[in-house]
Structure 1
Amino acid sequence: MAEDLPLLAGRSAATLALSLLDKAFSHLAGGAEEIYKEELLESVRRILTILDEAERRLIKWRFPSLEISIWEFTRAVDEIEDAVDEIQYHRLEDAAVRRGPVSKLVKRKILARFVPGSGLERLREAVVRLGHMASVVYRYYQRSVARRAPGVAAPSPSEHERYPSWIAADAVVGRDEEKGQVMRWLMKLPAEEAETNPVSAFAIVGMAGMGKSALAKLVHDDPQVPTNFDIVVWVKVSFEFRAAAVVSDILRSIAATEPGSSASAHLAEKLRDKKLLLILDDVWEDEMRGRWEDLLSPIRSAKRGSKILLTTRMQSVADMAATTIGGEFECLKLDGLQESDNFLLFKSLLNPDVNSEDYANLLLIGEQISKRFGACPFLTLAVVSHLRDDLKTSWTDVLQQHWYQIEGIYSILPSLKLSYDHLPARLQICFRYCSLFPRGHKFYMDKLVDMWVSSGLIPFPSREPGDSLPATDNVSILNPVDVGEEYFTALTRKSFFCRMLETDPCGGNQKEYYVLHSLLHDLAQLVSRGECARVDNGGFQDVMWTTRHISIANCGILTHERARKISYLRSLRTLIIESESCLDQETELLLGEILKSTKCLRLLQLSVPSPFHVLDRFPNLIHLRYISLISCDESHLHKIFKSYHLQVLKLSYLTAKEPDLSDMYNLRCLRSLHIPDNMSSKIHELGRLTSLQVLRGFEVVQNDGSRLSTLSNLRSLRQLGLMNLQNVQNCREAMEVKLKEKHDMRILLLSWNRYNNDTRLDDQIIGNLEPNREIQILHIHGYNGSVLPFWIANSLLVNLVSLELEYCIKWKSLPSLQELNLLQHVKLQHLFQLEYMGLELKELTDTNEPGIVCLPRFLRSLIIGWCPNLKILPTIPPSLEVLILKHVGFMVLPGIHQRESKTSVKSELTFVHIQSCAHLTSLDEGLLECQEQLGSLSILIISHCESLRHLPRNGFAALHHLKFLEMVACPLLKDGNTEGNILPISLKNLDMNPCGSIDVSMLLSLRNLSFLTKLTLFNCTNLEKLPPAEIFGTLQVLSDLSVARCRGLLSFGGLGAVSSLRMLSILCCDKLNLSDSPQGCCSFMLQELRIDCQALLFVEPLQSLRYTKELYICNDCAMESLAEGWLLQNATSLHSIKIGIAESLQSLPSQMDKLEALQSLHIERAPLMKLLPQLPASLSKLTIWGCDPMFMKQYEKDVGPNWGQVKHIAHVDIKSYSEEE
């Protein structure tokens, strides 16, 4: 998989060399050098040409001599880069010394250390070596061309996505909801669509192997399709998007004849007055709009209501299609299957024998396997093809392996790698770098771009064809950070990064982050071998002599030999070290030796507490661009201040209370500074850091010179946080910061101490802190003035994207912000006197057109909290995705803004959280009144609304995409006005807390909720029994049930009918074990059972359990011994038993040794236990806390009389106190 890496690395090095040689020869001025420069540039261009040719023609060669010579060529480029960098470092050092407060004699001694001749000689040697290696590469390439096999044609994506022959062509599971969404679009009547465009389009976007083509085939084969379309055509497009070829394919399908020279006109004639469904499968074209226009030209002659359905891996293709086609466009992002659906697919493809009772335990392993591999249908098929005929040996092995390590399914890689191969080289290297991070890592664009730039992946601003970057008139104005951000955006548009929005249900705070799908993460690790290495418990084998970037996730595996291996990496650019605990002395010394030897580092991230001994090696790291530390002391801080190339400095904690930051102004290249909030104002001559782009937490301090005027020269600032603005002395000082002149600034935080009572100047000062019109993110915190600044009141910040206003406690009104068309995020919190936005309450309630005042039209999230006097809002726009209302005075929820057209507007709302709205009495008005508009709503939380009495008239049944519903602490709720089922069939997670009298009706509405996977019942005091088997039996995928503090619960009802149940928790339901009502038998196999009363094990359906894996009994003070019979009937599967607070427990069953699968036994607070029985040989961990001291002595290691009984156990921890005491 990494066989292409030398070619890619050589190409990147050659491209860098072309730019770098200009810098190098600027230091080697002279006539002879100029002649040699042109010769060398020509040699490098020749290398770039042959590597481009090899990449373009997909030449597959593997000649060790050539590979080594290419790596040596890249190393020669590194040496030139390092030599130039060192010369520039000493010039920066020279300038710093000249600025420093030392005597002239001392300055002369220091400057004498820098001998320009030595640096120039190293540079000259590196240039000569580059020329030599360029000749060697070319010579070896010529030899390899003579010996290699002919070029191999690019494989078609479809060649790697064919199902095995034993799988039925229609083996598609779990896509009913997605198919329904596409079919609803297909069947939409023409009258509902835009009048101006006869063709609408729908894109299915998803990673390789997700089943895009299979879903499109399901739609194609649906019997409704031919009855609604005159012509249905399927065209496989793939890489080459040629309009003429697609047109010809359509004509062949329609007319069954070979198209002539005027194929486009012929097709237009054929489509006239015909309703067309065109399915374009596997489209890659995302750059050449003209190709799309050429295809659409004849298609637009089709009858109104014609459709184009396309499948693609990349969002950028969908965006291009939407822009070109125009009109109505919808997009479905096809993610992995749900765990339950993936397991159904897994089981359906197995040998029929495996589904029998004899292999029930094997199926539990299979269920874990199906969860492990990213819910990718194609990968599941490949794994099953490996396992289906093996009923004994391989299943456990597969569970422990990465999918690409499993013999026989490696063939999925070429299909997955096609997306990577389709990337430009500059995006490929940025993608490979992501392999340094763990699976599921949350990527933040600004942080990752800083790392890309600092590590040398984006060393200079330029563009190449195929970069997928937006056009810019003046490329020269772009700096590497701008280019890096555009690269990140390009990777997102090409669906390598998936954008996620994390919403804190408590505070409402949102964070945008990005993730790589687990399969793409695995791909990044495979294609980056030899360049990047992540070292964790998996071993050290990925560290090679060519490695440039390393992440060490587990310092415990470092040895002298491994540290030495890292120290020998002469081209190491990135070193990331992670540890949750402090390092021992030996590990610190090993890391110190690594830093001593790896002198060419550009990025160092030490996510390690107190790494002070490691930092002793800082003087050697003169090339550093990026330093990130958890903590640092003052002595090492001053060593960091001598890293004159430093661009990014991140320090979470400084040990000194009053650190000396006087030398920081020498870091003239510093562009991003992240230090504790109270430290930035202590930087001496901060205004000299003119490259600074990010400055957070600048604190204005009275009478010590830390004034806003210090920042006046920082014209490059993009992000600025100003704290304690109550200390600004006058309006003139506020003007001196020149915020309005900082045209690069995009993020601004203005913060006052909200406990300050002197607000005389606040109204004037905030007016003089007007930012530039380009500002995108604005936060105002703690402002105590009563006057709204004119630049907010008049909506002057037209480019604003995010606005947060907190603790501005005297503001009574805000504008509707309707004119800010780019505004996407608004957060209003602790505005205790706020009464209205836009119009006053009387005007809003009296108008006959409540939709006339609307919040910004493209708003995506609205968070309002602790605004008790805010009674009503303008209507919310259809674009809104997240709505959080907490402690707000609303009597009615806001409505959705309606356009002037009669067509009902569809809302994009996905997340709604309503909490502690004390005056809210009904959900039957406002937002939830017209549920057909809320087709995207997936999460609804309603909690602690003490006056709420009424649900919507039809409950939530019309919310067809609702996945998560939580109803908590609404004690007055009644179901008197609801009709029919309350819950929608799409529901996957239902959480019920005490909610008046609706508990029973909610449970009765569970019938046929075929997607429900998790059900939580907490403190439902009116509940006497769980639903009957007739209802539970319809819950086909319910896997997690938690029942707690339902004090009146008497019966499990028909719980035994839920065959999919895997996690069951029954706590504080005191009457359950007293029930005499008959119970059904058990049809499920539990992964985990959690109870607080062992007597429940003698009640059906728990009494009949088999194959349980984990048992947890907590706080059963009456339990004297464990239920031996129950344990024995689960002996083959039970691998963990945990007993918490068992004060009456006297002994364990005598046949404990027959629990052949038991691996862990944990017992807490069992002071009456005297002896242990014979324990199973499989046990690897024994924990007994809070036992009798005499019991502990009997099993004391090596000396206790009964030690021999437990010495075979790897981890034994017996002590007379409990960790919880």
Structure 2
Amino acid sequence: MLLLHSHRDMASAGALVFAGKSVVAPVIKEIITKAFRYLDGYFNSETMEEMKNKLDEGMVQIQVVLDVVRPDYIKDKTEALDQWFWNLRDAVEGAEDAIDELEYHELKEKAKEHMISEWGSLFAKVKHKVVKSVKYGRIFDKSVKHFSHRGTLKRLKKAIEGIDKAAAGATIFLEVIKFHQGETFNRSWQEGFVGTDRQTGSTSTVTKFVGREKEKKQILEWLTKKTRVEDEAEIVINPVHVPIFSLVGHGGMGKTTLAQTICENDEVVKDFKIIWVTVSTRFDATSVTRKILESVNGETLRTDSLEPLQQALKDNMKTFNRFFLILDDVWEEEKRSEWEKLFAPLRTMKGGNKILLTTRMASVAATAANVMGVAIESLTLEELQEDHNLELFNHHVFSGLKSQDYGELRVIGERIARKLGGCPLVTKVVSGHLQGNMTSEFWDRFLCEDYLNDFKGNTDDIMKVLNLSYYYLPTELQTCFRYCSIFPKDYKFTKKELVMMWIGSGLISPTRNEEKRLEDIGEHYISQLTRKSFFEQKIEKHQYSQLEREYYVMHDLIHELADYVSSGECKRITSPGRFADVKDTVRHLSIDNIDGLYADRIKRIVNLKNLRTLIISEANEGNISKHMACAIENALENSRALRLIQMNNGSPFSFPRKTDKLKHLRGIFVNALAPESIKGILRLYPLMFPVSKLTYLQELGEYQVQGIKGNKIIAIRDLKYLRELEVWGLQNLESIDEARSAKLKEKNSLISLSLWWPASYSGTQNRIDDLVVDQLEPHANIKKLTIHGYRGLRPPFWMDNDNLTVKKLVSLRLEECLNWEQLPYLQELELLRHLTLLELPKLQQIGPSSHMSGKSTVDMYLPPNLYSLRVEKCLELKELPILPTSLAYLKLIHVGLTYLPTIGKLHNCPKMRMLGGEKDVILSSLARLSLGHTAQGLVSLPSADVCSKNLKSLRTLLIRGCDHLISLGGLGSIPSLSSLEITQCCKLVEAARFYLSGSYASAGEEEHLVVPQLEYLRIDLSSLLLVEPLKSIHQTQQLIIEVASETESYHERWLLRNCASLKFMNISKAELLPQSMKDLSSLQNLTLFDAGKLDSLPDLPLSLQNLYINICHPDLKKKIRAYGSPEWDKISHVPRLQIGPSSWFVNFLFPTTEICASSWERNAAGALMMNSGSKT
């Protein structure tokens, strides 16, 4: 990745045009001012002055239109006004691009001057001075320097004329509106485009309440829960707090319906005075207080004064024992003073009162709770479960009909309902659409994926609900949110990835505070969009290491909203046919599966004159064809407005040679770059420019300290914006002063620092190293520190206990520091999450020595929030301090420990026979435990008591190659275990076979307990399902059996016990499948490997979506291909089928190509007769 932005970058002014708000006009005025600064020196001054005065007047008209019209709303209402907005945006961005190019040439000239003055010979300096004096001479009152850029200046003039033309068009629009609307046009026009707030009441409008029973129960329990100020016998006065509960969810998720259902509960009606207020988007204390009073006494109040309203509210509320106030559809998150005034009279009421909010934004819930001074209690409404959504679908679509008369439609309808995603509003709208045509042909066509997605993304009823959330975003957030439509659905993006793309595409502009970096602004935008529920922040853990990774996703409905509001601006192409839908107005384009397109389609990119972002993804690992590569290169070279290029390619890509034409390019993201391209991009080799002049540089990797000019460490002294820094070759530092000259301690933006000495360094100057490293002290803001290859005798003083300055460290990595015998006491690093110690051969202890501290290392603790600890090749380290309860991952390899306070992975422990009692091992925070071939002496897992207490956080357990293991002990008592793998344990297998023969009585202490919620089970032999506690487990979701050649009849009961939960089965070497397969009602994926003896299939469940058999008996393959045969009937309902390693597919009701459900019988039969290498 290369990110080439500078501090002069500004967000796309044209993108702000589509915000339609007052922020736009000042930005356009700034562009116009800059433009005339260039144009005055080239074109006739009188002409330019006349145009400038005309534009000043025209900007007033543009501002009026932007104030009253929403561009995202009018695009489907009035074609002429929509075109006006695009013309204005084209003109603004054209001017912006031209100014950007002229500024680029100025910077280039300055850089050239500096290069010559710093590096040039005496002759070069004299020559440059002469050329400069001629170049900046005056000829016919025009600057000669402009002659070389006259094409850019002409384009700038044309763009300014375009803005002038747009201003004239605005005048015409306003005159027409005034004629039709009179002097009140502003208000009526704006209300027509913005829309009015919806009104709701406490009486439910739905005829059937489906699902949400769990959520309903939670709210009812909250309503009846006693607060601290409530006594069992009487309710006392609570002058401070009223508990608040918030229902949070996207538009259409059923928040209001759930709240109405609560209000209709008999117990709630009996115990509370119910007060329902629709707050909506216009929030102020006066209007909301008036609405509360109107709801209480049923009278309309005319006063606009807050004081009498508050007094009347207090008087009225005194007549109620307890009130239950519902504030529906709340949007306000910032006006704390208005919240304070609203809550002031409510705080004086009797205790026992409750407030329920419904809102789309989690930030509203937080604001209300914080102002009231109560804990944040909220519930986020997720999608309905599939069966509940199906029930809702059937209720609406068969309303007034006898559903039993529509058996065929019920089957198709079930598949449609399962694809809707679980949003009640979407389900209601779709079912209403289908009810208008109750024929199987119509429903079949609707089931085709493209049609369904288009329907969901463009239906007015759905988008009107969601669009309101978007409209009330700040302008800059709207721009960045629209951009996210170029990602596929369910795409997991990281904070850094998205911020870099926003910056690269020119969507973020610097603030007036020069100290605030673009990255900081972008991270703030992500935080805001997350708080407003447009993004969902997630944490995922690696399956084996349990290390955490933070990422963000957009809910499907929010993604559809992004598609809707970005129409014409952003486009994502998923199939060749979609290229025809690309409009010339597109600014940001993403192409999936580039190797599935024709090269001539790619050439069309050249026609997108305003394209700023291009993302190309390669579906396969194969090489892009030469013809396609040429087409891409040509498209890139001629897309002059490009800001960002991203190639998600698996094969090396040769970058275009003529990149010097792409003067606006800010970011290049390429997965695999052909070696010959590196020189072409930025002529990186040889690196001749001085690093010291890159004053806005934020990331500098592998900077080599050498003994030549330009590569001294002093070169990084003035790089005050550095965020990440790697300094190599530190053995070349010759003095303390030289090390001090880097001024690392003054770089308050630096968050990651790596200090490297080479592995080949002999360390003869280790005394100098000790003094040098003391002077490389980073700023206290540092979060990530790596020290590699250091040959000094001790750690730097700024890591010492008494002088610790790096207290904000989150990650510390120390490796190949060959002479260290002791590390400082690390407990004071309270924020440290990851600690890595690699190849510290002389390290004996962490913390002060026992004779100095008066206590052993084992009486001291590692940092309290440590999440992962990795120690390798530290053979002299005999013991570790006590590990914190937060530790989830521990890896110890080649360490001389004699005491193990916590174990994450066990290596080289051949004599271990038991994971013993409480005093032997403390594993209470361990998340993953792997017992491998090195624990061959292990005969039993701990007892149930030890497992339940000391392994209570264990989620993943892998047991491989433990040859003497004969008992799983109390495995069933591990409360958090969700993933279990047992393979190559021969004695355990023998015990299972004894069970099978009926001749085995006991294999040690077996604990007959059920493993709760075991999601994943992998075993090498199916007979292990007879060993307790595996025999008794239930709710398993994924089962893998590596060898299933034995008779399968004995585990029928195990399958039936897990029939409702089992979703994935992967079985190898099966000779016979159990007849109970048809009862696995949740099974979606079945994979059979190496089933060469399998000649028949049992009946398969209707839930099965995917069936893959890589090898089976030839007879079975023939039977399946025989249309109408018994074997055919067993698999005909499966949407996706693959048999054989070269793969042939049959697609039935969920087409991935051109086959739709209505014609599956005639198409599938033909597909089955094809050769095994073909695909439909």
Q: 1:601 aligns with which of 642, 646, 654?
A: 642
Quick check: 1:774 aligned with 2:774? Answer: no
Q: Gaps (5+ residues) in structure 2? A: 1-14, 136-143, 182-187, 232-237, 996-1004, 1153-1160
- TM score, norm. by length of structure 2: 0.75
Quick check: 1:115 aligned with 2:147? Answer: yes
Q: Structure 1 459/1155 Cα, relative in aligned 2: closer, same or farther at 3 Å?
A: closer
Q: Structure 1 1024/709 Cα, relative in aligned 2: closer, same or farther at 3 Å?
A: same
Please say if residues 373 and 380 of structure 1, whose CA atoms lie closer than 8 Å, have aligned partners that are also in contact: yes
| Matched ranges for 1:1203-1214 at <5 A | 1206=1170, 1211=1174
Q: Structure 1 837/994 Cα, relative in aligned 2: closer, same or farther at 3 Å?
A: farther
Counterpart position of 1:95: 110
Q: Gaps (5+ residues) in structure 1? A: 463-474, 643-658, 666-684, 895-911, 1143-1151, 1161-1174, 1183-1204, 1214-1221
Per-residue CA deviation, residues 318-357 of structure 1 (Å, 9 max, x unaligned), is 3323432334324444443556765676677775999989
Q: 2:491 aligns with which of 441, 445, 456?
A: 441
Q: Structure 1 690/1121 Cα, relative in aligned 2: closer, same or farther at 3 Å?
A: closer
Q: Structure 1 1068/255 Cα, relative in aligned 2: closer, same or farther at 3 Å?
A: same
Write the distance in 1 (CA, Å) between the matches of 2:641 and 2:72: 35
Amino acid at match of 1:243: A
Amino acid at match of 1:621: L
- For 1:406, what is the secondary structure of its paired residue? helix
Amino acid at match of 1:1132: S
- For 2:582, what is the secondary structure of its paired residue? coil
Write the distance in 2 (CA, Å) between the matches of 1:815 and 1:1156: 65
- 1:772 CA drift (Å): 1.4
Bigger Cα displacement from structure 2, 553-562 vs 103-112: 103-112
Q: 1:491 aligns with which of 529, 535, 540?
A: 529
Counterpart position of 2:813: 805
Per-residue CA deviation, residues 184-214 of structure 1 (Å, 9 max, x unaligned), is 6963652899x99644444443322334445
Q: Structure 1 977/446 Cα, relative in aligned 2: closer, same or farther at 3 Å?
A: closer
Q: 1:264 aligns with which of 310, 334, 339?
A: 310
Write the distance in 2 (CA, Å) between the matches of 1:361 and 1:1025: 46
Q: 1:152 aligns with which of 189, 192, 196?
A: 192
Amino acid at match of 2:565: V
Q: 1:584 aligns with which of 605, 611, 625?
A: 625
Counterpart position of 1:427: 477
- 1:171 CA drift (Å): 0.9
Counterpart position of 1:520: 558
Write the distance in 1 (CA, Å) between the matches of 2:253 and 2:473: 20
Please say if residues 547 and 572 of structure 1, whose CA atoms lie closer than 8 Å, have aligned partners that are also in contact: yes
Per-residue CA deviation, residues 806-843 of structure 1 (Å, 9 max, x unaligned), is 4366767666766566x363333547687877788999
Counterpart position of 1:623: 664
Quick check: 1:416 aligned with 2:466? Answer: yes
Quick check: 1:694 aligned with 2:707? Answer: no
Write the distance in 1 (CA, Å) between the matches of 2:83 and 2:1150: 52
Bigger Cα displacement from structure 2, 84-93 vs 717-726: 717-726
Q: Structure 1 161/533 Cα, relative in aligned 2: closer, same or farther at 3 Å?
A: farther
Q: Structure 1 1158/1027 Cα, relative in aligned 2: closer, same or farther at 3 Å?
A: farther
Write the distance in 2 (CA, Å) between the matches of 1:495 and 1:1066: 38
Write the distance in 2 (CA, Å) between the matches of 1:371 and 1:957: 41
- 1:423 CA drift (Å): 0.7
Q: 2:717 aligns with which of 712, 715, 718?
A: 712
Write the distance in 2 (CA, Å) between the matches of 1:368 and 1:1003: 43
Write the distance in 1 (CA, Å) between the matches of 2:920 and 2:318: 46
User: In percent, how many aligned pairs have the same letter?
Assistant: 27
| Matched ranges for 1:1120-1139 at <5 A | 1127-1134=1127-1134, 1138=1138
Per-residue CA deviation, residues 1111-1162 of structure 1 (Å, 9 max, x unaligned), is 44456689887667751441532465555699xxxxxxxxx999999999xx
Q: Structure 1 199/51 Cα, relative in aligned 2: closer, same or farther at 3 Å?
A: same
Per-residue CA deviation, residues 998-1023 of structure 1 (Å, 9 max, x unaligned), is 9999997559x7x8776555557653
- For 2:888, what is the secondary structure of its paired residue? strand
Q: Structure 1 600/774 Cα, relative in aligned 2: closer, same or farther at 3 Å?
A: same
- 1:182 CA drift (Å): 8.2
- 1:1056 CA drift (Å): 4.2
Select the structure that is richer in helix: 2
Q: Structure 1 887/298 Cα, relative in aligned 2: closer, same or farther at 3 Å?
A: farther
Counterpart position of 1:405: 454
Counterpart position of 1:660: 685
- 1:891 CA drift (Å): 7.1
Quick check: 1:17 aligned with 2:28? Answer: yes
Quick check: 1:1178 aligned with 2:1141? Answer: no
Amino acid at match of 2:1164: S
Please say if residues 1006 and 1028 of structure 2, whose CA atoms lie closer than 8 Å, have aligned partners that are also in contact: no
- 1:66 CA drift (Å): 3.4
- For 1:146, what is the secondary structure of its paired residue? helix
- For 2:633, what is the secondary structure of its paired residue? helix
Per-residue CA deviation, residues 871-905 of structure 1 (Å, 9 max, x unaligned), is 6656758xx6x7323339797878xxxxxxxxxxx
Write the distance in 1 (CA, Å) between the matches of 2:197 and 2:1090: 57
Please say if residues 323 and 353 of structure 2, whose CA atoms lie closer than 8 Å, have aligned partners that are also in contact: yes
- 1:751 CA drift (Å): 3.9
Q: 2:567 aligns with which of 508, 529, 551?
A: 529
- 1:418 CA drift (Å): 1.6
- 1:390 CA drift (Å): 4.6
Quick check: 1:950 aligned with 2:952? Answer: no
Write the distance in 2 (CA, Å) between the matches of 1:842 and 1:186: 60
Q: Which has the higher contact order (CA 8 A, sep 6+)?
A: 2
Q: Structure 1 1176/529 Cα, relative in aligned 2: closer, same or farther at 3 Å?
A: closer
| Matched ranges for 1:169-568 at <5 A | 169-173=208-212, 176=214, 179-180=217-218, 183=221, 187=225, 190=228, 198-216=241-259, 233-248=275-290, 250=292, 262-265=308-311, 267=313, 270=317, 278-302=325-349, 307-337=354-384, 363=411, 369-370=416-417, 372-386=419-433, 390=438, 392-393=440-441, 394-395=443-444, 397-401=446-450, 403-406=452-455, 410-461=460-511, 475=513, 477-537=515-575, 539-556=578-595, 562-563=601-602, 565-568=604-607
- 1:921 CA drift (Å): 3.8
| Matched ranges for 1:896-935 at <5 A | 921=915
Write the distance in 2 (CA, Å) between the matches of 1:812 and 1:965: 35
Per-residue CA deviation, residues 1013-1042 of structure 1 (Å, 9 max, x unaligned), is 76555557653289999x89x85xx66444
- TM score, norm. by length of structure 1: 0.73
Write the distance in 1 (CA, Å) between the matches of 2:289 and 2:852: 58
Q: Structure 1 421/1015 Cα, relative in aligned 2: closer, same or farther at 3 Å?
A: farther
| Matched ranges for 1:763-842 at <5 A | 763-781=770-788, 783=790, 785=792, 787-794=794-801, 796-797=804-805, 800=808, 802-807=810-815, 823=831, 825-830=833-838
Write the distance in 1 (CA, Å) between the matches of 2:294 and 2:570: 49
Amino acid at match of 1:152: G
Q: Structure 1 348/958 Cα, relative in aligned 2: closer, same or farther at 3 Å?
A: farther
Counterpart position of 2:139: none
- 1:444 CA drift (Å): 2.9
Please say if residues 861 and 884 of structure 2, whose CA atoms lie closer than 8 Å, have aligned partners that are also in contact: no
- For 1:92, what is the secondary structure of its paired residue? helix
- 1:771 CA drift (Å): 0.8
Counterpart position of 2:1052: 1052
Q: 1:721 aligns with which of 715, 719, 726?
A: 726
Amino acid at match of 1:547: V
- 1:288 CA drift (Å): 0.6
| Matched ranges for 1:42-121 at <5 A | 42-55=57-70, 62-98=77-113, 99=115, 104=124, 115=147, 118=150, 119-120=152-153
Amino acid at match of 1:206: G
Write the distance in 1 (CA, Å) between the matches of 2:696 and 2:154: 31
Please say if residues 780 and 805 of structure 1, whose CA atoms lie closer than 8 Å, have aligned partners that are also in contact: yes
- For 1:534, what is the secondary structure of its paired residue? strand
- For 1:310, what is the secondary structure of its paired residue? strand
Please say if residues 1026 and 1053 of structure 1, whose CA atoms lie closer than 8 Å, have aligned partners that are also in contact: no
Per-residue CA deviation, residues 430-478 of structure 1 (Å, 9 max, x unaligned), is 111111222232323333333323333234536xxxxxxxxxxxx4544
Write the distance in 2 (CA, Å) between the matches of 1:785 and 1:275: 72
- For 1:1053, what is the secondary structure of its paired residue? helix
